[in-house]
Amino acid sequence: MSILSVNNVNKSFAGLKALNQVNLEVEEGSVHAIIGPNGAGKSTLLNCFVGRLIPDTGTVNFLGQSLLGITPHAINQAGVARVFQTPEIFGDLTLLENVKIPTLAKRDGAFSLRAWSRIDQDSLVTDKAEHILEDVGLIEKRDILAGSLSRGDKRRLELAMCLVQDPKLLLLDEPTAGMSRADTNNTIDLLKRIGERGITKIVIEHDMHVVFSLATKVSVLAQGTVIAEGAPEDMKGDPRVQEAYLGGAHL
Ligand X SMILES: Nc1ncnc2c1ncn2[C@@H]1O[C@H](COP(=O)(O)OP(=O)(O)OP(=O)(O)O)[C@@H](O)[C@H]1O
Q: How far is the CB of 36 from ligand X (least distance, A)?
A: 6
- Do residues 18 and 224 make contact, with C-beta atoms less than 8 angstroms apart? yes
Angle at 82 between CA 38 and CA 126, to 5 degrees: 150
Terminus-to-terminus CA distance in the chain, angstroms?
30
Q: How far is the CB of 86 from ligand X (least distance, A)?
A: 12
Nearest-angstrom CA–CA distance, 4 and 61: 6
Amino acid code (one letter) for 85: Q
Among residues 40 and 132, whose Cβ is nearest to ligand X? 40
Q: How far is the CB of 31 from ligand X (least distance, A)?
A: 19
Among residues 14 and 113, whose Cβ is nearest to ligand X? 14
Among residues 38 and 123, whose Cβ is nearest to ligand X? 38
Nearest-angstrom CA–CA distance, 67 and 71: 9
Please give the residue ranges that form the binding site for ligand X (CB under 6 A). Answer: 13, 16, 18, 36, 38-44
Q: How far is the CB of 147 from ligand X (least distance, A)?
A: 26
Q: How far is the CB of 165 from ligand X (least distance, A)?
A: 24
Q: How far is the CB of 34 from ligand X (least distance, A)?
A: 8
Among residues 199 and 222, whose Cβ is nearest to ligand X? 222
